[in-house]
Amino acid sequence: MEEDNKNQEHPNSPLHGIKLAEIVQYLVATYGWEELGAAINLNCFKSNPTIKSSLKFLRKTPWARTKVENFYLKSVKK
């Protein structure tokens, strides 16, 4: 029953069901760290970047997470 409610909360969200780790992994695989850092301009992508450290930063920083999610949506639409 709870799971049904969760699915109904954001039925039209294009990010529904996609984990942040999947988004970061896709972006790194598609663009690489250097290009990703230039496109989004976050230190977590520029200075000694790793998936783990980037995820830790993005989970604690909502405005940065929003930037990454928006960039992901734009890149998937292409």
Tell which wins on pLDDT, 25 or 77.
25
CATH number at residue 36: 1.10.720.30
- State how far the Cα of 15 lies from the Cα of 35, in Å rounded to an integer: 22
Query: Is there a domain that residue 70 lies in?
Result: yes
Task: Let me know if residue 66 belongs to a domain.
Answer: yes
Q: Are 26 and 36 in contact, with CB atoms under 8 Å apart?
A: no
Predicted confidence band of residue 2 (pLDDT cuts 50, 70, 90): very low
* The one-letter amino acid at 3: E
Query: Is 9 part of any domain?
Result: no
Amino acid at 21: A
The single-letter DSSP state of residue 12 is T
Dump pLDDT digits (tens) for 19-72: 999 999 999 999 999 999 999 999 999 999 999 999 999 999 999 999 999 999
- Domain limits at 68? 18-77
Could you give the number of structural domains in the chain? 1
